[in-house]
A and B are shown apart, each in its own frame.
Chain A
Amino acid sequence: MLSIRHIVKQYAGHRALSDVSLEVESGQIFGLLGPNGAGKTSLIRIVNQITAPDSGEVYFNGVKLNQSHINRIGYLPEERGLYKKMEIGEQMIYLARLKGMSRDEANKRLKYWFEKLGIEAWWKKKIEELSKGMQQKAQFVATVLHEPDLIILDEPFSGFDPVNAEVIKDEILELNRKGATILFSTHRMESVEELCDAIALIHKSQKILDGRVKHIRNSYRNDTYLVEYTGPQLSFDGSQPFEIIGDTISEDDSHIIRIKLNGSHNSNDVLQYLIPRTRINMLQEVIPSMNEIFIEKVNQIA
């Protein structure tokens, strides 16, 4: 769908992107992660053809990015706003027409969206009469009104209250189910695990990690498990197939330990060792969260 190849972007004072390459597959929800100032917005602006890279290329469905692709991309910038003095319905139609839609079609689609979000009454209102949350909803509608194949959202959840953020999240998922590819940037890792199929991590203008979320997390598995058992607290003599990390957490006669497998042992070996000695309530693999991976990766670089 979107292939970003060796992008370099240099600004007067600093380098925003150095040799960044990404592949976004069709139908994916792709998360662009990184701390503030890492270069996410610069990259997004290049895909939107707002700025051009110093070197490198972007391909859209195998074709080098050009003006004709503008109508197939919907963009919600991080810094949002609309014409304050313009009526909202008229404004949405204007923005959709700038994306190449006909007036009638835009009108029809807008009615559908306004009904869907329950905001039909806003049509004749001016933006300045709406609350901030309402403006954000309107802006989201403006982003997707022309039914883009690729929807680019820069920090989509910032500025939304929790209720509206949930509404927008559901809409994003639905659009994705209907076939739209979604590229969004965020510095909030929580939203990544539940939404994204794939991610790329950008730090200090460089891509330091990318791939499917599942694969990445799997590659960060380090044979660590949590075990909960009931009974008298066990003591280990070193013959067990694992090592204890940290302290035992005890409550009444149930204990939780954190273990790391030794050598080529697997979780079955752990169970085989423990079953004769105590009663096991739980054995759970500890997979680092994206947040932990993110922090670990960033710290490695620093």
Chain B
Amino acid sequence: MNKVLLIIQREYITRVRKKSFIIMIFVVPLLILAMGAAIVLIGKNSNKLSSLQIVNVIDNSKLFEGKLHDTTNIKFVKGDQDLNKAKATSKNDENISTLYIPTDYMKKGGVQLFSKKKPALQLSEEVEKQMNDIAINNSMLEHHIDPALVNTIKNTNISINAVEITSTGDKDANIGPNIAVAIACSIFIYISLLIYGGQVMRGVIEEKTSRIIEVVISSVKPFQLMLGKIIGVGLVGLTQFSAWIILSVISSKIAGQAFNSPASPMSGILQTLQTIPFGYILSCFLFYFLSGYLLYSALFAAVGSAVDSETETQQFMFPITLPLLFTYMLAVSVLFRAPDSPLAVWLSIIPFTAPVAMMVRLPFDPPGWQLALSMAMMVIGFLFTTYVAARIYRVGILMYGKKASFKELGKWFFYKE
């Protein structure tokens, strides 16, 4: 057992020391943070114009005159010059725009807004909105409808509060954030299984092609080496996750303080997000990552042992990753809409598909017995694949120059010591 620890130590330390590992730890949360910040900043900035805009209104229809009201950044001025003169002014000063309203303003493209630069979206939107309001008001007056009454009617706003009846009492069941978390979890587990499983495979191939394998297995049993490698790489994955989680908690705290003004639309999302039991989801994530990783990385190790170079892995990789890919595609398209459908239940119990499928179902509270069954199946699943993989691995690592096929792997499985 002592030797397995040594192997784990080597696998872990050589990977954690790599520059790429340290860079990844910081780059990934920074990227996520930067993306979030960019979204918030863009949202905030588009709310206001950078400086005061003066709009020269040339109203040939005479319907809007005096009815356009100024906002914090927009000032409407009645322009009595002719259009060409006003356009000339706008051409010289980027803060002065010219709004031209022809007599038949209803015609599409009739109303024009001239600016030196392309006018800010917010400016044209504001003008459009005000003009629409005025035009509607005018029409209502024409048809003898009381605009004030219409306004009260228009303020009607019904929103549905989805409530789930559970044994512990009624519970808010706003499913929007749940879907987001479900999809995020399944994507994350899918990617991390492939990344770390791939690392195990490359590690095995490296040992085989560099021919150190024979020296090592004259000191330890092949199974010990395989186990040490799988655990070592798995710990690297866990280290990376923990670092990311810690960094994201810190950065989201900072981000929360910076952006979380009550008026911000983000705070609403943040509040609903807080209703999701992250601790529970996180522990399930860790379980499914670990068991799924053990299950798949054993298979990846067997594949690595069977080939002489990474290019030869294709024929094996495809069938092995197919269940993962299949569930992943179902997860982001179908499963989150029907988390309790028979398909979802079955996929979350079969060990090869369970890590992705169960992560999608988790935010929707699957029944306890299904979760327990799924977890038990995962344990049985990885014990099984590890057993099969170890038997192939011990033969494969000493085979050179033999084009391995599935038939060949089958033979290796039945080899005696």
Cβ-based interface call for A80 (8 A): yes
Find chain A residues with CB under 8 A from B219 CB. 70, 95, 98-99
Q: Answer whether A81 and B417 are a contact pair too, CB < 8 Å, given A94-B6, A95-B219, A98-B6.
A: no
Interface size, chain A (Cβ < 8 Å): 29
Interface 1/0 per residue, A112-126 and B, CB below 8 Å? 000000000000000
The answer on a CB contact under 8 Å between A83 and B210 is yes
Find chain B residues with CB under 8 A from A51 CB. 398, 417
Cβ-based interface call for A75 (8 A): yes
CB contact list, B196-221 vs A, under 8 A? 206-207, 209-212, 214-220
| Complex: A86 Cα to B30 Cα, angstroms | 30
The answer on a CB contact under 8 Å between B220 and A81 is no
The answer on a CB contact under 8 Å between A77 and B215 is yes
- Main SS of the interface on chain B? helix
Find chain A residues with CB under 8 A from B417 CB. 51-52
The answer on a CB contact under 8 Å between A70 and B211 is no
Cβ-based interface call for B118 (8 A): no
Task: Give the nearest-CB partner of A142 in chain B.
Answer: B215
Find chain B residues with CB under 8 A from A86 CB. 14
Cβ-based interface call for B403 (8 A): no
The answer on a CB contact under 8 Å between B212 and A75 is no
Cβ-based interface call for A85 (8 A): yes
The answer on a CB contact under 8 Å between A50 and B212 is no
Return the contact of B220 from the options A52, A75, A80, A98 (Cβ within 8 A).
Answer: A98
The answer on a CB contact under 8 Å between B6 and A50 is no
Return the contact of B218 from the options A70, A79, A139 (Cβ within 8 A).
Answer: A70
Cβ-based interface call for A97 (8 A): yes
CB contact list, A37-64 vs B, under 8 A? 45, 48-52, 54
| Complex: A77 Cα to B214 Cα, angstroms | 7
CB contact list, A66-101 vs B, under 8 A? 70, 73, 75-77, 79-86, 94-95, 97-99
Task: Give the nearest-CB partner of A53 in chain B.
Answer: B417
Find chain B residues with CB under 8 A from A73 CB. 218
Interface 1/0 per residue, B10-23 and A, CB below 8 Å? 10001000000000
- Which of B3, B212, B415 is the most central at the interface, judged by chain A CB atoms within 10 Å of its CB? B212
Cβ-based interface call for A249 (8 A): no
The answer on a CB contact under 8 Å between B215 and A75 is yes
Task: Give the nearest-CB partner of A49 in chain B.
Answer: B218
The answer on a CB contact under 8 Å between B218 and A12 is no
Within the complex, what minimum Cβ distance (angstroms) separates A147 from chain B?
Answer: 14
| Complex: A52 Cα to B416 Cα, angstroms | 8
Task: Give the nearest-CB partner of A139 in chain B.
Answer: B215
Return the contact of B212 from the options A48, A54, A83, A97 (Cβ within 8 A).
Answer: A83
Within the complex, what minimum Cβ distance (angstroms) separates A50 from chain B?
Answer: 6
Cβ-based interface call for B411 (8 A): yes
Find chain A residues with CB under 8 A from B217 CB. 50
- Which of A12, A50, A52, A142 is the most central at the interface, judged by chain B CB atoms within 10 Å of its CB? A50
Task: Give the nearest-CB partner of B217 in chain A.
Answer: A50
Find chain A residues with CB under 8 A from B10 CB. 94
Within the complex, what minimum Cβ distance (angstroms) separates A112 from chain B?
Answer: 21
| Complex: A81 Cα to B10 Cα, angstroms | 17
Within the complex, what minimum Cβ distance (angstroms) separates B21 from chain A?
Answer: 13
> Can you give 12 A-B contacts (C-beta < 8 A)?
A50-B217, A52-B416, A70-B218, A79-B211, A81-B210, A81-B215, A83-B206, A84-B210, A85-B14, A86-B14, A94-B10, A143-B215
Interface of A with B (CB < 8 Å)?
A: 12, 45, 48-52, 54, 70, 73, 75-77, 79-86, 94-95, 97-99, 139, 142-143
**5 residue pairs, one from A and one from B, having the closest CB atoms:** A81-B211, A52-B417, A98-B219, A81-B210, A77-B214
